Amino acid sequence: MSERVLTIEEMAAGYDNVAVVRDVTMHVDRGEVVALLGPNGAGKTTTLGAISGIVRLFGGSINILGQDVPKLRSAYLVGQWGVVHVPEKRGLFFQLTVEENLKLAPRLESGNTDEAYELFPALKALRNRMAGTLSGGEQQMLALGRGLLAQPDLLMVDEMSLGLAPVIYEELMPLVRKVADETNAAVLLVEQHTDLALAQADRAYVLSHGDLVLQGKASDLLRDRHLIDEAYLGAEALDQDPAVAGSPAADEAEAPGE
Amino acid sequence: METYLQFMLLGLGSGVIFAGLALGLVLTYRASGVVNFAHGAIAMYSTYIFSSLVDDGQYPIPPLPNLLSMIEAVLGWFGIQVDLPDIPPFVQLGDPWSWPMALIGALATAGLLGFLFHYLVFRPLRYQPPLSKVVASVGLMLMLQAAIVVRFSNRPRNVAGLLPQDGVDVLGTTVPADRFYLLAAILVATALLYLVFQRTKFGIKTRAAAENEQFATLLGISADRIAAVNWILAGILAGLVGILAAPITGLNPLNMTLFIIPALGAALVARFQSFWIAVWVGLAIGAGQSLLQIMEIRLPWIPDINLSQGLPLVVIAVAMMARGQVLPSRGAIERGRLPMALPTRIRPRLMTFWILFAAAILIWAPFVWRQATINTLIGAVLALSLIVVTGFSGHISLAQLSLAGIAAFMLSSLATDAGWPFPLAPIFAALVATGFGIVIGVPALRVRGASLAIITLAAGVAIEVFLFKSDGWFAGDSTRHVADPSLFGIEFGPNSPFFFGDGKVPSPAFGLFVLFMFTLAFVAVIRLRQSMLGEQMLALRANERAAAAAGVNVTSIKLAAFGIASFLAGIGGTLTAYKFGTFNMASFGVLGSLSVFAFSYLGGIATVSGSLYAGSLFPESIGTLAFEKLFFPLGRYEAYLAGLFLIVTTLVQPEGIDVFDRRERRRIGWGFVLLWRKATGNPDRTKPDWVERIYPEPKHKKGMRPSPPATVDAATTHEDGGS
């Protein structure tokens, strides 16, 4: 049994007075890669935002390592509990150098950034370049490298494949798996690129229009691709399939690592 | 040659102030994206604290609203005389302090001011558009300046010098040593700041937060805390610069406050980014001004017109025109919107009623109320000018009263000296102001927001020093007379006879004339708001690029806005000149322009009827007169309260009094409607459409919202300022 890092129960969150996601219940364990899938506007990014405290929570609870998230300041969340959120646009500071960007990694007391360069040797030659001048792939490496320097307990990556050539994200994606295996972090991966994400993930949740419509083991979902397609298109009869959908039994099936 | 060198070196004294203030401006901008117009005022304020502690051991308490005096006044209505305690103006802290202690005390105050500015004003405004921030910092500037005037009066004050002043021989001339100490100090400070920003983690975090606050938050960096630290640093720096350089520049409430203008010029050249450039340019402006001064005296071919005072404007103008939108934008979310420009229409019956009412007051009311009404109406005309340029087209102009002054001067030349007849002289005078206004508007073609506020402020100062000052082009030493206006043999100046009344100045005839002019301006601005031109201005205000894409001719609309506004300001100026019977440059100073801006914003910058509220806030207007009759005389507190209310307004009611009043009135009115319907047994009739428009849905409370699946993205919820 591995430790439960993230537990979300009946969460509703959104902007101003509009709830974007409603009634989301999910969890991520240590050493596990969980994919959060769904079409545009499903509420994936909002969910991540709620977890890292930048989106308002309307109801329900978010719990990280036994701590109630809405009660924590985001600085505390990141520094103390090792929650790293790599946002959609990668969260880099374009006017800072690669080295300076890495130095901003939370929980990096030593200021020693060598680990990131070991993981991504390509960055080493670029260390004094402005982050804004890097290519998309290099930027994603930098964002991941900075996230890993923080030795996260929970790593959330939003749309890693966005704007990248297939050859690059196909190379980067397995790294996420590696992180989960080696550092025993819990990884939550938001992707539109379903197959790619499912290939790396242990489990997956599918959001549509702010509702959790499907969840299950990645291997099951890969086998029954049509379920995801139907979820994307809003078919509602999925609850009847006991193998994957909704039922707690399927949910509890533990399978970290393959 | 030695003399020139000597003067350049002497000029380093003021150069160090400009450089030091510019350094602080860059620091606060990089830390929080705020152009702090009140930065010079912080320096001035702390220097007064220092001086007061060293000379008398007294610490001045800023003027605070004393509710007890309000109670005294209210009890006074019922004939009860009570004497409740007042807040003392000073705390006596023992004997005069030694200078190191006083320095620490003053710098602590400066740091505290920086912190309070951030925490109480700019942090709450962080998501608001630049307009709100400029307004708030102008309010702070007015307030600090007025606070010192209340406590220490306007007189210049001698400040104990901390640096040795004995002469040093440099290249054959003798210069006081303090210039070099100051220079060394400022260069060391710059080097330190530079190193902190480049090398330390705090510096990297500050730069990161400046680029994107949300990303910084995700890394556990509190942009807010970083900004607070930088604000404190900037405050202390301002205090230090002020105290050290005050023996050179002299100290009065205005001069150091206005040193912000050359400092803004230097910071602009540095794009509010580079500490080094800001400091070098600041020093160069100081040295250059000093050099120009001696050249004006020594060289016969240089006109003797205060050229040195124009140098900051030249620097600012060149920097802006050369670099366009010079302020790099900050990666913060902008959720706030500009004040609502409610649609408006002419309501003949309502207007007739108020016109008759005002006329009745002008004819029959006692003299003080007549005078107050006239002041209110003239103020309202000036406010209308800002409503057009700032409220409708979204450009901050801090030079409107200077433009009014130009028209007033022209009126005295044309009507009195050249003998032009009545309608021609004021119209032509206002047209001259329009010309100047359009020239000031030209930079607006390339810059917006805070940058435009800077250049218009500098232009206002330039108009004051070049045109109005005693040796300027316009004024001359003698007071300029303005003849009473008359048409077809009927006089309607302040001294004109009127068939009825007490015969005191200003006469009711003049009052009716002002009322007529105001009504014309008011109707014209309503028509403008309804017209295509007005709609285009609002489109411009909301989003310049989108407006251009939709086919709005941005250039001509901008110039039209400035032109119309300047014409209105010109009308306001001629009315002021008629009222006094003279042209007096003191009524058209830069601080006056700032106050007019403050009053207009307070009254309601984007709605035509806001002008009347604005007019009622002017000195000696109906609103202030009523306040004084009811409570206590305002006197020197007026400017202070104006600044204070300006800040409070931007924070709690950015729409100004007018929109607030309308909304509340309708809310109350709607309550009555509901009660009546309940009583008549018909409670379920649908609300009229304006209820939704004026009184939006209350904010959604905790818990889920039972609505259809929402697919709203954060980016699309941003509202623009149009209506």
Look at B220 and A77 and tell me if their CB atoms are within 8 Å: yes
Token pair recorded at residue B675: 């009660």
Classify strands B490-491 and B486-487 as parallel, antiparallel or unpaired. Answer: antiparallel
- Quick check: B634 and B641 in contact, CB under 8 A? yes
Establish if A78 touches chain B: CB-CB under 8 angstroms.
yes
Look at A103 and B703 and tell me if their CB atoms are within 8 Å: no
Nearest to B467 by CA among B411, B410, B522, B391: B410
Quote the pLDDT of residue B254: 81
Token pair recorded at residue B356: 């008759």
pLDDT band at B480; cut points 50, 70, 90: confident
Q: Does ipTM surpass 0.95 in this model?
A: no
Q: Which of B24-28, B254-258, B669-673 has the lowest mean pLDDT?
A: B669-673
Look at A23 and B704 and tell me if their CB atoms are within 8 Å: yes
* Average of per-residue pLDDT across A146-151: 84
Establish if B716 touches chain A: CB-CB under 8 angstroms.
no
**Distance in Å from the first CA to the final CA of chain A:** 15
Quote the pLDDT of residue B237: 92
Establish if A106 touches chain B: CB-CB under 8 angstroms.
yes
Assign A113 to helix, strand or coil.
Answer: coil
pLDDT band at B306; cut points 50, 70, 90: low
Contacts of B220 in chain A (CB under 8 A): 74-79, 106
Give the length of chain A. Answer: 258
Look at B710 and A19 and tell me if their CB atoms are within 8 Å: yes
Supply the pTM of this predicted model: 0.79
Establish if B212 touches chain A: CB-CB under 8 angstroms.
yes
H/E/C letters for each residue in B317-360? HHHHHHHCCCCCCCCCCCCCCCCCCCCCCCCHHHHHHHHHHHHH
- Quick check: B470 and B586 in contact, CB under 8 A? no
Token pair recorded at residue A125: 């030659």
- Quick check: B521 and B566 in contact, CB under 8 A? no
Residue B409 confidence (pLDDT) above 90: no
- Mean pLDDT is highest, among A19-23, B358-362, B556-560, for B556-560
**Distance in Å from the first CA to the final CA of chain B:** 62
What gap in Å lies between CA A176 and CA A202, rounded to an integer? 12
Domain spans, chain B: 2-57+93-323, 350-654, 663-697
Look at A74 and B218 and tell me if their CB atoms are within 8 Å: yes
Nearest to B463 by CA among B417, B400, B412, B418: B400
Contacts of A59 in chain B (CB under 8 A): 702-704
What gap in Å lies between CA A109 and CA B375, rounded to an integer? 64
Q: Which of A62-76, B334-348, B681-695 has the lowest mean pLDDT?
A: B681-695
* Structural element, H or E, at residue B518: helix B508-530
- Mean pLDDT is highest, among A35-39, B74-78, B339-343, for A35-39
Phi/psi-derived region of residue A10, left when phi > 0, alpha when psi is between -120 and 50, beta in every other case: left
Quote the pLDDT of residue A19: 81
Mutation target vs B (from A9, A10, A18; most B CBs, 10 A cutoff): A18
Nearest to B510 by CA among B566, B575, B422, B455: B575
Query: A184-205: per-residue pLDDT in tens?
Result: 888 888 888 888 888 888 888 8
What gap in Å lies between CA B486 and CA B424, rounded to an integer? 11
In sequence order, the 6+-apart residues with CB closer than 8 A to the CB of B229 are B31, B202
Token pair recorded at residue B419: 């003998």
Per DSSP (E only), the strands in B576-676 are: 582-583
* Average of per-residue pLDDT across A112-127: 83
In sequence order, the 6+-apart residues with CB closer than 8 A to the CB of B175 are B6, B9, B10, B167, B168
Token pair recorded at residue B447: 């810059």
Contacts of A113 in chain B (CB under 8 A): none
Contacts of A72 in chain B (CB under 8 A): none
pLDDT band at A16; cut points 50, 70, 90: confident
Residue A252 confidence (pLDDT) above 50: no
Q: Which residues pair with A86 in a beta bridge?
A: A157
- Quick check: A84 and A116 in contact, CB under 8 A? no
Quote the pLDDT of residue B347: 81
Per DSSP (E only), the strands in B143-253 are: 167-170, 173-176
pLDDT band at B651; cut points 50, 70, 90: confident
Establish if B719 touches chain A: CB-CB under 8 angstroms.
no
All structural domains of chain A: 4-82+152-252 (3.40.50.300), 94-150 (no CATH)
Look at A54 and B712 and tell me if their CB atoms are within 8 Å: no
Tell the CATH topology of B350-654.
ABC transporter involved in vitamin B12 uptake, BtuC (1.10.3470)
Token pair recorded at residue B386: 């800002």
Give the alpha-carbon dihedral of B635, B157, B22, B39, to 10 degrees.
-30
Quote the pLDDT of residue B66: 67
Establish if A17 touches chain B: CB-CB under 8 angstroms.
yes
What gap in Å lies between CA A116 and CA A145, rounded to an integer? 5
In sequence order, the 6+-apart residues with CB closer than 8 A to the CB of B612 are B376, B380, B603, B658
Assign A7 to helix, strand or coil.
Answer: strand
- Quick check: B41 and B260 in contact, CB under 8 A? yes
Contacts of B207 in chain A (CB under 8 A): 93, 95-96, 100
pLDDT band at B674; cut points 50, 70, 90: low
- A111: exposed, middle or buried (C-beta count within 10 Å: 0-12, 13-18, 19+)? exposed
Quote the pLDDT of residue B305: 65
In sequence order, the 6+-apart residues with CB closer than 8 A to the CB of A196 are A161, A169, A170, A173
Question: What percentage of chain B has pLDDT greater than the value 90?
Answer: 12
Q: Read off the amino acid at residue A50.
A: A
Domain B2-57+93-323 falls under CATH 2.60.40: no
Residue B533 confidence (pLDDT) above 60: yes
Classify strands A203-208 and B167-170 as parallel, antiparallel or unpaired. Answer: unpaired
What gap in Å lies between CA B132 and CA B394, rounded to an integer? 11
Q: Read off the amino acid at residue B609.
A: S
- Mean pLDDT is highest, among B34-38, B298-302, B670-674, for B34-38
